[in-house]
Amino acid sequence: MTSKPAVYEFNAAIVREPARSVVNGLRADDRGNPTYDGVKAEHAAYITAMQAAGVEVTVLPALDNFPDSIFVEDPALAFPEGAILLRPGAETRVGETAEIAPTLKAMFSTVLDLPSSGFADGGDVLTTPRSVMIGLSARTDRAGAEGLVASLDRLGRKGEIVQTPEGVLHFKTDCSLLDEETMLTTERLGRSGVFDGFRQVTIPAGEEPAANALRVNGVVMVGSDYPRTIEMLDRLGYNVVPLKTTEIGKIDAGLSCMSLRWHRPAS
């Protein structure tokens, strides 16, 4: 009997090439404009790291009309059981769902639409062994979260609605799953109690953006600008792969949002 893969075990992913318009991507804090060449280089290194971790990566073409479309995790979710099309909370991103839908419908036998009311971003969704956590935020409202819980139920998964800290763009801005029992979290999210029952590893003060790390199979991808976090995770025994996120960080992004990941069942 084949054991069920862990929630961080992936063999398939979808990414999208950055458009030249990516320099106009949304941002909550003005840290200067990214350069197209810089974003493209970081994205290329990300794809290489995914492939090195054992993931087959499908690369979609750039969408100039959607500056933030490189962040494919926000308009959709992917699971072994099927995909869910979301409704992004930023008005300029709503059209991204229709752009990625044909790809998902070609890859998955089950593709669900989010119910008609509310909005939800994939950046607010964290899959854990216990549940799929959905953080309420400026980009995911209660109606969207409740609709997503219903869609997850149709896939046989349990959704759990939690609160994203005030002023934080996405739930996963402040956390990531390190293994089946351990969360990497900022102090502000950790003290909220949402991860009670998990072992918690707290980001060193001043390196809070490093919380958006990404566990893929046997490695943990971490922004290379955060040496204390990398040292801490290395000391804890994780196989850390540092990746440059300086340019994408200028448009409020991190490692998880640049791909849709799932474990494709053997045919």
Assign residue 250 a region: left if phi > 0, alpha if psi is -120 to 50, beta otherwise?
alpha
Helix residue spans in the chain (DSSP H) = 36-52, 96-107, 142-154, 187-190, 227-235
- 124 has binding-site annotation: no
- 26 has binding-site annotation: yes
- 68 has binding-site annotation: yes
- How many Cβ atoms from other residues are within 10 Å of residue 32's Cβ? 8
Where in the sequence numbering do the catalytic residues fall?
Answer: 170, 257
Q: Return d(Cα 260, Cα 75) in angstroms, integer.
A: 10
Whether 15 and 248 have beta carbons less than 8 Å apart is answered as no
- 184 has binding-site annotation: no
Q: Return d(Cα 28, Cα 183) in angstroms, integer.
A: 25
Q: CB-hemisphere CA count at 13 Å for 55?
A: 27
- 196 has binding-site annotation: no
Q: Return d(Cα 80, Cα 103) in angstroms, integer.
A: 15
Distance of CA 62 to the CA centre of its chain: 19
Cα distances (angstroms) measured from residue 175 to each of 27, 165, 196: 19, 11, 14
What's the burial of 98, exposed, middle or buried (CB within 10 Å: 0-12/13-18/19+)? exposed
Please name the helix (run of DSSP H) or strand (run of DSSP E) that holds residue 222, with its range, or none.
strand 219-223
Amino acid identity of residue 61, one-letter, is P
Bridge-partner residues for 82, per DSSP?
Answer: 79
- 30 has binding-site annotation: no
Look up residue 145 and give its two tokens.
């979260």
Binding residues for substrate: 26, 68, 73-74, 93, 139, 251
Binding residues: 26, 68, 73-74, 93, 139, 251
